[in-house]
Structure 1
Amino acid sequence: MKAVFLIIDYVPHQELTIRKLAEENDFEILAYHVAKFNKSVPIIHNFKTSLYTDSSKENIFKSIIQFKPDIVVVAGWMIKEYVWIAKKLRSSLNVPIVSYSDTQWYGTIKQRVNALISPFHVKKAFSHIWVAGLYQFEYARKLGFKKENIILNSLTADVDLFKKINLENKQKNYPKNFLYIGRFSSEKGLDILISAWNTITDKNGWTLTLIGDGVLKNKFSNLDNIIVKDYMSQKELLKEIENSGCFVLPSLVEPWALVLHEAAISGLPIICTNVCGAAPHFIINKYNGYLIKPSIVSDMRNALENIIQLNDQKLYTFSLRSRELGLRITPETSINSLKQLLK
């Protein structure tokens, strides 16, 4: 079988999908990438990739036609050249032309316009849409895609990697550290987290660690009661997660948040805001963590205190439940969600 990917960057989940298809499902892969933020290119068997700026859209279209793919997967409709290519392919090939989507429906003016023009734009380019989850499914329906033309599970954590964390070790000595991993930027709601943390007088030995990079990093780096660490690779993060007892994501806006899947697979109880796209898939309130409204310091403080007040056995139970929920989506379910479109 042959597949074409038109993507933006080779981020971990994107590389994982392509690697699984090529090396475990014996696909030959032709890809074009933008290298907008990440210029690295993975080394994968049966895989060839090129910068899309090195060729004209006409030549890329011709190369794909010559390649004779069984399926084409496109990183949404953000790159206008990709949309042009997808439209041409739909009229030239009788194969699925699939768009990724991790975008929620917010009902903004721009999204309403997209919904109105979709029959002449998005739906002319793509036969199917591959969404991350429930909130993205809603937007796909607004765009006019039929239920049978919407497939799920487009985003997956590296389950095998994060399952390496041994949860039994936590049963013997449960670590008391809240962990945040992500950008230091305003939409992440870190001000809310820090304000809530500072109002808790009895932390019962718990600490707070923030990991990542971003424009607001210096703002939090000099606070006495918070540990701040630099961005790390996924493998480096394993040790940090192993030494943590709860993951916190206070985002004000968050289309999906793959890090929630990684935290769940890692067996971390989770506190996160209900705006996160991945939240309904990996967190059940009071079952393996706490779902809260964004921007409300008192809600965040209550959730933190709820975790602090749990005994080690209850925390371990939350940990096991998180891993259970994390297994709802795996690289295998993701790949086979896509493969079901093949003849």
Structure 2
Amino acid sequence: MRVAILATGWAGFNDAACRELAARGVELLIATEDQTANTEYASHRHDEYATLHTWRDDPAPGEVRDAVRAFAPDAVLMHSWHYAPFREAVKALPPGTLRVLWMDNIWRNVPKQWLGRAVAPWWVRSLFDAVMVPSDRTEHFARRLGFGEADVIRGSLSADTTVFGSGPRDGAEIADRRRFLAALRLVHHKGADVLAEAYRAYRSRVDEPWALDVAGIGPMADCFDAIPGVGMLGFQQPTDVARLMQESSCLVVPSRVEPYGVTLHEGALSGLPIVSTYFVGAAPFFVQDGLNGWTVPGDDADALAEAMARITAAGPDRLAGMSDVSRALGARTSSAGWAQHLHEQLSWRTAALRSTDR
């Protein structure tokens, strides 16, 4: 089977999952921008398992279309239904090629989404045979765009389980670390400023505050200037983030809006208690309120600070129980499981599509 992936950026978890897919004998074309803004990923060495087509700014007219056409895929997975070079490539596919929209957006009831829903029969639904989603929240959006229950491929994202993971963690060890970790791009929708405000408030509420390590880069880095207890670590490669999670006591995810948030899966795999805003798409999968952490409203620094204070006061026994729940929730999916599921879905959907095109 030959699969082309048209992606708006590439991360370590994508690399791990597609490496597993290639190991199953799937030939891959990955077409994506060379580097996502506010990241500094080291080379993923795509050429070890895939044909790679990248660009720095915008691709030239017809560039992506021609690369996909030359690859002659059996199926195409496409991010971002409005990106013109990708739409052009999918429209040019010959009959019998499975066209899959790979989306992670969640329904937020905003005007732009209502417009998308209005034009979906012509702009979205007519272009794709199926949709691939990571969560029920995204499926809810996809169904509003006109995809039926049978059109949905579920479980579209997984953390890199070759890097992230942990055996049982001792509660005293977690408590003794005395460190919160936030791994995020320092931009508005990720809530970098909310985290900075929350951490200031948290430090004023507890007698012996834990430190906060911030792993990431972006234009809002100065929000953390002069806040005691903050360690600005810059961008960290996935293996370094995995190490930091083993050295931390709690993962904090302050996003205003996060379509999914693979970092929650990474934290769960690492056995961390988790504090997350509710509008992170992966929160229902990996945060069970009161058992392995808490979800709080987005854009609410006071609520985030209060949840961080509750983690600090939890004590070793409670933290050990939280860690066990996180590890159990993290085990729900893996890079290899993702690849197996997707391979099976594409295989039978491609066969079904070609049987109807005869």
**TM-score under structure 2 length normalisation:** 0.86
Q: Deviations over 1:255-301 (max 9, x none)?
A: 11111111111111000110111111110100110011123333223
On the 8 A contact 1:129/1:149 being kept in 2, the answer is yes
> 1:287: which partner in 2?
291
1:341 aligned to 2:346? yes
Name the stretch that deviates more: 331-340 or 194-203.
194-203
Give the distance between the partners of 1:259 and 1:342, measured in 2 at CA. 29
How far 1:156 moved relative to its partner?
1.0
Answer yes or no: is 1:47 the counterpart of 2:54: no
Give a deviation string over 1:39-90, Cα, whole Å, max 9, x none: 95624445212237365355335314xx3x332211231421211221232x
Question: Are the aligned partners of 2:174 and 2:319 in contact in 1 as well (CA < 8 Å)?
Answer: no
> Which structure carries more relative contact order (alpha carbon 8 Å, separation 6+)?
2
Query: For residues 115-130 of structure 1, what are the structure 2 equivalents within 5 Å?
Result: 115-130=117-132
For the residues of structure 1 that align with 2:150 and 2:3, how far apart are their CA atoms?
21
Give the AA of the match of 1:236.
D
CA distance in 2, matches of 1:74, 1:169: 42
Question: What is the aligned partner in structure 2 of residue 107 from structure 1?
Answer: 109
Which of the numbers 299, 320, 343 marks the counterpart of 2:324? 320
Match of 2:81 in 1: 77
Q: Structure 1: which 5+ residue stretches go unaligned?
A: none
C-alpha distance in structure 2 between counterparts of 1:268 and 1:307, whole Å: 11
Report whether the alignment pairs 1:224 with 2:228. Answer: yes
**1:166, distance to aligned residue in structure 2 (A):** 4.3
Runs (5+) with no aligned partner, structure 2: 349-358
Which of the numbers 69, 83, 86 marks the counterpart of 1:62?
Answer: 69
Paired AA for residue 198 in structure 2: A
Answer whether contact 1:189 1:250 (CA < 8 A) is retained: yes
- Provide the TM-score with structure 1 as the length reference: 0.90
In structure 1, how many angstroms separate the alpha carbons of the residues matched to 2:174 and 2:279? 33
Give the Cα separation in 1 of the matches to 2:188 and 2:79.
26
Task: Please provide the CA RMSD for this pair.
Answer: 2.3
1 CA distance for matches of 2:99 and 2:26? Answer: 16
Equivalents in 1 of 2:284, 2:49: separation in Å?
A: 36
C-alpha distance in 2 between matches for 1:276 and 1:178: 18
**Alpha-carbon distance between aligned partners in 2 of 1:193 and 1:117, rounded to the nearest angstrom:** 37
Indicate the residue corresponding to 1:26 in structure 2.
25
Task: Give CA deviations for 1:174-198 in whole Å, capped at 9, x if unaligned.
Answer: 3221111112223333443333333
How much has 1:12 moved relative to structure 2? 1.4
Deviation at 1:169, TM superposition (A): 5.5
Q: Is the 8 A contact 2:261 2:282 kept in 1?
A: yes
Separation (CA, whole Å) in 1 of partners of 2:248 and 2:49: 39
1:299 to 2:303 alignment? yes
Judge conservation of contact 1:151–1:337 (CA < 8 Å) in 2.
no
> Secondary structure of 2:90's partner?
helix
**Which letter does structure 2 place at the counterpart of 1:42?**
R
Query: Which amino acid is the alignment partner of residue 294 of structure 2?
Result: Y
Aligned partners of 1:328, 1:173: CA distance in 2, in Å?
A: 23
Secondary structure at the aligned position of 2:257 is classed as coil
Rounded to whole Å, the distance in 1 between the matches of 2:69 and 2:206 is 65
Is this contact kept in 2: 1:203–1:308, CA < 8 A?
no
Deviations 1:302-340 (A, max 9, x none): 211211111112101101110111122222332233222
Structure 1 pair 226/123, CA: closer, same or farther in 2 (3 Å)? same
Partner of 2:17: 17
Residue 7, structure 1, aligned to residue 17, structure 2: no
What letter matches 1:31 in structure 2? I
Aligned partner letter, 2:155: N
Q: Which residue of 2 aligns with 1:260?
A: 264
User: What secondary structure, in the 3-state scheme, does the structure 1 residue paired with 2:5 have?
Assistant: strand
Count of residues paired in the alignment: 336
Amino acid at match of 1:110: K
Which residue of structure 2 aligns with residue 332 of structure 1?
Answer: 336
